[in-house]
Structures are given as structure tokens and as C-alpha cells.
């Protein structure tokens, strides 16, 4: 059986407001721009993308669980759930897929409560503070892990 050539892109709470939410921190790109960027970056590497965004933790956990059936890896911007959700961390660990954690802003330069992420220890790729273009780099690094071109 050949490995699936699909990535799950997960964007967490409030990322549906990209483009209008605090543009000084998050820029002017929209969620649609992010999804297009990730789809293009993945396609350049021979992968397709299933994108989802939710403001509801359980919906995100269900999507992560479903990914084990047909995805080779997960690119996730957990947003505020990074700092609060053991449930999200456990879901990512349970599906045993390689994970790329992405944050648009540099969370270490923000409020102290943002300095810890429950996702960090289960992710093999971390792209933090590179803005929306960081999503494309996360895809490339994750695909390198999936295809054995880098260790994860």
C-alpha cells in the first residue's frame, strides 16, 4: 500500500478573521490566502491538501482523528489552543502522524502566557514568527520528513 500524498491543514480559533484581525500582528493575508499558499506549496511537492478551520476544539480533534485514515502529515496553527489544550496535544500524539506547528507571530515576543505550547513536543517541525509565508516553509519541511529527506 502506498502512503497517502495528502496533508491536513488545521487552522485554529480566530484564524477565520485573518486579514482583519490585528493586522499589525497577523498581516493582511486572509485565511483563503493561507489555504491557497499551502495548497500551492504542497502541490509543488506532489501532495494535496485538505484544509479546515474551526473555532471549536472538538471539531479540530475530530478532523485530526480522521486524518489518520488518509493523510501523511498535519500542518497546524493551533492558535490560542496551543497554550491551553492538552486535548489537542493528545489527539496529535494519538494519530501518530508527523506534525508541523506553525505560528504567524513570534509567540515568544508576545504575552508570557503564549510562551508555552502543548503542541511543541509532538511536532517534528516548528515554524514560528515568519508570518503567513511560514506556512509554505512548514509544508516543505514536513514533506521532507514524510519523504525521508529529513529526520523528524
Closest CA to 146 of 84, 87, 90, 98: 98
pLDDT at 114: 66
104 among annotated binding-site residues:
yes
Point out the catalytic residue in the list 26, 65, 116, 118: 26
Cβ atoms of 61 and 91 closer than 8 Å: yes
Q: Is 105 annotated as a binding residue?
A: yes
| Secondary structure (H, E, C), the chain | CCCCCEEEEEECCCHHHCCCCCHHHHCCCCHHHHHHHHHHHHHHCCCEEEEEECCCHHHHHHHHHHHHHHCCEEEEECHHHHHCCHHHHHHHHHHCCCEEEEECCCHHHCCHHHCCCCCHHHCCEEEECCCCCHHHHHHHHHHHHHCCCCCC
What confidence score (pLDDT) does residue 25 get? 79
Residue 83 annotated as binding? Answer: yes
pLDDT reported for residue 79: 93
User: If we measure between CA atoms, which residue out of 65, 82, 61, 74 comes closest to residue 15?
Assistant: 82
Active-site residue (options: 56, 103, 116, 126):
103
Instruction: Please give the chain's pLDDT, 152 residues, in tens.
Output: 466 799 999 999 999 999 998 888 788 899 999 999 999 999 999 999 999 999 999 999 999 999 999 999 999 999 989 988 999 999 999 999 999 999 997 877 777 766 678 899 999 999 999 999 999 999 999 999 999 998 76
Domains and CATH numbers, the chain: 6-146 (3.40.50.9100)
103 is catalytic: yes
Q: Which of 50, 40, 104, 105 is nearest to 74 (CA)?
A: 50
45 assigned binding-site residue:
no
- Is 65 designated active site? no
User: According to the annotation, is 77 in a ligand binding site?
Assistant: yes
What pLDDT was estimated at residue 105? 79
21 labelled ligand-binding: no
Amino acid at each position: 500500500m502506498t502512503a497517502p500524498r495528502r496533508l491536513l491543514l488545521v487552522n485554529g480559533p480566530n484564524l477565520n478573521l485573518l486579514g482583519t484581525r490585528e493586522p499589525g500582528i497577523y498581516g493582511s493575508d486572509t485565511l483563503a490566502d493561507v489555504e491557497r499558499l499551502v495548497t500551492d506549496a504542497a502541490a509543488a511537492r506532489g501532495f494535496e491538501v485538505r484544509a479546515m478551520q474551526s473555532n471549536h476544539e472538538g471539531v479540530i480533534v475530530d478532523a485530526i482523528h480522521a486524518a489518520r485514515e488518509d493523510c501523511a502529515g498535519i500542518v497546524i496553527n493551533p492558535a490560542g489552543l496551543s497554550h491551553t489544550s492538552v486535548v489537542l496535544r493528545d489527539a496529535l500524539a494519538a494519530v501518530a502522524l508527523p506534525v508541523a506547528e506553525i505560528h504567524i507571530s513570534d509567540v515568544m515576543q508576545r504575552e508570557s502566557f503564549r510562551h508555552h505550547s502543548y503542541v511543541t513536543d509532538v511536532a517534528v517541525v516548528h515554524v514560528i514568527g515568519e508570518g503567513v509565508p511560514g506556512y509554505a516553509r512548514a509544508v516543505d519541511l514536513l514533506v521532507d520528513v514524510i519523504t525521508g529527506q529529513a529526520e523528524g
